[in-house]
Chains A and B, each alone.
Chain A
């Protein structure tokens, strides 16, 4: 069986005296090996201290994003056979490092939800005995399209603005607002949406390099969502008295 060399970023915040370094491991490479399989093999057989995150291992939970040979990707669905030479693994930038390849995306994304007030704003009281409000199926599908974001952080890690300014909400934030803007159940006014995202932290911070759109593992139409929200914000901004 052929072997594969990995070069992996190492740093543990509880031992700050050990500066960050790259560590090399070589393991056997069976056919169909993913980074998920490889990292577990390294931990179980070579180095039980190695920190990384996986949950669903099926590309639906968003836990395992990392920089693989220079690009933010989901490790669980990346096959080593699709990569050339030594596989270099680094943690996502922008997010706080927990150790090695593990970063704190949870805190960042909760902040995003709080900042963009990502919940249905409705004045209606729930009546358990009433039938549901009707919705056009096309509208439901349109909401789901934006709702498919799994908060993996690939769009943020690859974003120039997010790497420069700490408060930028990135494509994930803008896409999130777009999700609520197309939802007829959300009663927010233009002014309220403008407040949430009509700033440099939101829609106007984007430089338009579109790495988010290239890197999204869910293939969300982030470029479209960005232009949709920016145009809405301009028209809202102009119409607010």
Chain B
């Protein structure tokens, strides 16, 4: 086959979750011709699974009183363990309240302030002022000084995605769903679009555009146990890395959410603890105050996850066929609260565990949840290394989250960075020269993918089974690149993954590979997923300090003298390890200090003992 269907637009957005669609809207509303590619219909994107909410310092509710962008900024920087870009964090916190209000205009039914006195689950009395009634309210989340997380019950991601997608539909933006970008097209300097495979027919197509936006979300499914949707395999990061020109930032920064439900690893929102839920051990003892007297269950996610594992290691976990776990207790919040504000998680508990959290404890264990790292961009969302290429949302390392993201900052990032990067991308596109390409070069990229497919079908490189390799990769990351890390384990991970990577280049199909063959889809992704796994593991092995979610047992302290820097992982052709480079982290306002929670904090159990 030598002729491919070629589709040309001004802007090509890869990924139809919140960040991608929000960016597409900015371009389309400036008159640009936009096409969105998506693995699934937009409303099935993983953004819809976000439950808890969206941080913005509106300060409307009583417990949010006195909040402002400076407080949100400080919380975000401390949360990131000083790993984030402070200029980006500043831009983000200033824009978040506006973005949340804009979403209200677009249709999100944010929960609102109801005036009057109320008693919190811990006995505190608060009074929401009458003059604030009807404004957007907020709930408590981890690592925040104020109640700042705006929400719609526990379906915030769902209502945001539906509102943003309704604007995409209103503007008539073209969406090609069930389409997977499998390679970027570029000329060494400028990105020209993608080669994509239609997941309805198996056909390869060429998409050309002046600007391409990667908005494909995270890579959670590299891990065997992840809260992520099964489509979160880091595709956009892979195709960017495969160019050899584009670096991935801080891939070793992997978030584990404290409350994945055992044994299906579906997320139980942080809102459950934000609304007053407790973590209990096998003796039904509420243990978090022992470790974190100040923030208790609402320290940052990296800290709570570590405390849970620490407590399990001391023998206080509940034994189960799926390994030891702890309990999440929300019974004291009452049936009315659970069945309105936490209804979706009540349903999840019933559907997948046969329990009703109104009167039963929820089994939980920290579970892979979020990728702080991703395609490295500047503050405008422009990707390092290729012109005309942008990245937003979880797929990007913008870098708002550093080494730990605060709950509620990812939904907020999608609508804020989608807006800001969308605008910058639109301006770039309007100012860009006409699309300039050599058709031979473009077709070469498609031919290369066609050849990969032909080889896989013919079993030309070998007969390795893709599902077997995948399980080995998942298990390696689970066993050696988890919450607590150390040199020997990480070395083992790197060695294993290298070996699996070499085998992944020898995969052969068991089936015919015809049409929208699902086995072929997985085979095409597998080497790229292993490259990401190697970026994560090798980056973690090399970073000899502990920062945020990256906790080294052999290097337990944060080391600002040597490691206040961001990892940039490049993949050179023919290599089996990433080439790691580093860049300094920009500190503009808040110099490194005490986070106020965690093992090194003066306010923690260890810190108290030291003083």
Q: Which residues of A contact B (CB under 8 A)?
A: 12-15, 32, 34, 43-45, 47-51, 53-63, 77, 98-99, 102, 104-107, 109-110, 113-114, 117-120, 122, 124, 126, 128-137, 139-141, 143-144, 147-148, 150-151, 183, 185
Minimum C-beta distance from B152 to chain A (A): 5
A126 & B112 in contact (Cβ 8 Å cutoff): no
A147 & B162 in contact (Cβ 8 Å cutoff): yes
Minimum C-beta distance from B156 to chain A (A): 10
B502 in contact (CB, < 8 A): no
Please indicate the chain A residues that have their CB under 8 angstroms from the CB of B107 in the complex.
Answer: 119-120, 183, 185
Closest residue to A37 on the B side, CB-wise? Answer: B264
Binary A-proximity of B503-518 (CB < 8 A = 1, otherwise 0): 0000001111011111
A137 & B113 in contact (Cβ 8 Å cutoff): yes
Please indicate the chain A residues that have their CB under 8 angstroms from the CB of B135 in the complex.
Answer: 131-132, 134
Q: Which are the 8 A-B pairs with shortest beta-carbon distances?
A: A106-B41, A134-B134, A48-B519, A119-B166, A14-B515, A143-B109, A137-B112, A77-B351
Within 8 Å by CB of A61, from B44, B133, B159, B170, lies B44
B152 & A140 in contact (Cβ 8 Å cutoff): yes
Please indicate the chain A residues that have their CB under 8 angstroms from the CB of B519 in the complex.
Answer: 43, 48-49
B510 & A48 in contact (Cβ 8 Å cutoff): yes
Please indicate the chain A residues that have their CB under 8 angstroms from the CB of B351 in the complex.
Answer: 59, 77
B104 in contact (CB, < 8 A): yes
Within 8 Å by CB of A151, from B43, B264, B266, lies B43
Q: Which of B340-348, B384-392, B527-535, B549-557 lies at the interface?
A: B340-348
Known contacts A45-B467, A129-B98; 20 additional CB pairs below 8 A are A12-B515, A49-B511, A51-B518, A54-B230, A55-B40, A55-B45, A55-B231, A60-B48, A61-B40, A61-B48, A98-B178, A104-B200, A106-B42, A117-B170, A118-B166, A119-B106, A131-B135, A133-B104, A136-B134, A151-B41
Interchain CA distance A45-B465 in the complex, whole Å: 10
Please indicate the chain A residues that have their CB under 8 angstroms from the CB of B376 in the complex.
Answer: none
B251 in contact (CB, < 8 A): no
Closest residue to B16 on the A side, CB-wise? Answer: A106
Minimum C-beta distance from B380 to chain A (A): 19
Please indicate the chain A residues that have their CB under 8 angstroms from the CB of B100 in the complex.
Answer: 132
A61 & B111 in contact (Cβ 8 Å cutoff): no
Minimum C-beta distance from B317 to chain A (A): 20
Minimum C-beta distance from B294 to chain A (A): 31
Minimum C-beta distance from A181 to chain B (A): 13
A147 & B200 in contact (Cβ 8 Å cutoff): no
**Contacts A55-B231, A60-B49, A106-B178 hold; do A141 and B200 have CB atoms under 8 A apart?**
no
Minimum C-beta distance from A21 to chain B (A): 17
**Contacts A55-B229, A136-B134 hold; do A113 and B105 have CB atoms under 8 A apart?**
no
Minimum C-beta distance from B106 to chain A (A): 6
Please indicate the chain A residues that have their CB under 8 angstroms from the CB of B200 in the complex.
Answer: 98, 104
Interchain CA distance A107-B229 in the complex, whole Å: 21
15 contacts between A and B (CB under 8 A): A45-B467, A48-B467, A57-B264, A62-B43, A62-B44, A109-B41, A118-B166, A126-B105, A128-B98, A134-B135, A143-B109, A144-B152, A147-B152, A150-B48, A151-B41
Interchain CA distance A48-B113 in the complex, whole Å: 52
Please indicate the chain B residues that have their CB under 8 angstroms from the CB of A34 in the complex.
Answer: 352
Please indicate the chain A residues that have their CB under 8 angstroms from the CB of B509 in the complex.
Answer: 48
**Contacts A58-B49, A98-B200, A126-B102 hold; do A49 and B512 have CB atoms under 8 A apart?**
yes
Interchain CA distance A148-B42 in the complex, whole Å: 16
Residues 158-177 of B contacting A (Cβ, < 8 Å): 158-159, 162-163, 165-167, 169-170, 175, 177
Please indicate the chain A residues that have their CB under 8 angstroms from the CB of B348 in the complex.
Answer: 58-59
Closest residue to A219 on the B side, CB-wise? Answer: B347
Please indicate the chain B residues that have their CB under 8 angstroms from the CB of A99 in the complex.
Answer: 515-516
Please indicate the chain B residues that have their CB under 8 angstroms from the CB of A98 in the complex.
Answer: 178, 200, 516
Please indicate the chain B residues that have their CB under 8 angstroms from the CB of A102 in the complex.
Answer: 516
Interchain CA distance A57-B232 in the complex, whole Å: 12
B46 in contact (CB, < 8 A): yes
Within 8 Å by CB of B111, from A62, A106, A140, lies A140
The interface centre, meaning the residue of A44, A47, A58 with most chain B CB atoms within 10 A of its CB, is: A58
A140 & B158 in contact (Cβ 8 Å cutoff): no
Interchain CA distance A151-B44 in the complex, whole Å: 9
A56 & B48 in contact (Cβ 8 Å cutoff): yes
Please indicate the chain B residues that have their CB under 8 angstroms from the CB of A130 in the complex.
Answer: 101
B169 & A110 in contact (Cβ 8 Å cutoff): yes
Residues 481-522 of B contacting A (Cβ, < 8 Å): 509-512, 514-519
**Contacts A56-B48, A132-B135, A135-B134 hold; do A114 and B169 have CB atoms under 8 A apart?**
yes
Please indicate the chain B residues that have their CB under 8 angstroms from the CB of A49 in the complex.
Answer: 511-512, 517-519
Please indicate the chain A residues that have their CB under 8 angstroms from the CB of B177 in the complex.
Answer: 106-107
Closest residue to A218 on the B side, CB-wise? Answer: B347
A48 & B515 in contact (Cβ 8 Å cutoff): no
**Contacts A14-B201, A58-B266, A185-B107 hold; do A148 and B158 have CB atoms under 8 A apart?**
yes
**Contacts A49-B511, A131-B135 hold; do A140 and B112 have CB atoms under 8 A apart?**
yes
A50 & B112 in contact (Cβ 8 Å cutoff): no
Interchain CA distance A1-B107 in the complex, whole Å: 50
